[in-house]
Amino acid sequence: MLNRFMLIVVFVPLAIILIALAVANRELVAFTLDPFNPGNPKLTLSLPLFIFLFLALAIGMVVGSLATWVKQGRYRKLARQRGVEAESLRQAVSRAPAAPQGPALPKPTS
């Protein structure tokens, strides 16, 4: 149910906006990597503007994801360490001899 909600409320309007953006920005634009000689054909790429916009969006998403992954590295390391510690404690408990059962504690009276 939540997936259908996300599809209808978020992704459908986003797709409509992106399609409108692509249709409105079909003109060719020149993207050059040489700031001193902008007419250099070897370092100039002419594509529709919406392709550059989508590429910038995709690159931003990848860079943001990588930054988040790197920033959360210490938490993943801590989780691995605690997982190893928990597994060693489980094994130690399973190897320990069973303690003799003593008399049950009396129930508290009020």
Torsion angle, alpha carbons of 87, 92, 94, 98, to 10: -150
pLDDT for position 53: 87
What are the CA-CA distances from residue 76 to residues 62, 71, 82 (Å)?
Answer: 20, 10, 10
Mean of the per-residue pLDDT values for the chain?
A: 87
CA-to-CA distance for 29 and 38, rounded, in angstroms?
13
**Whole-structure pTM value:** 0.62
pLDDT above 90 for 78: yes
Of the ranges 4-13, 23-32, 88-97, 101-110, which one carries the lowest mean pLDDT score? 101-110
Instruction: Answer yes or no: is pLDDT of 67 > 90.
Output: yes
Residue closest to 45 by CA, chosen among 55, 60, 33, 27: 33
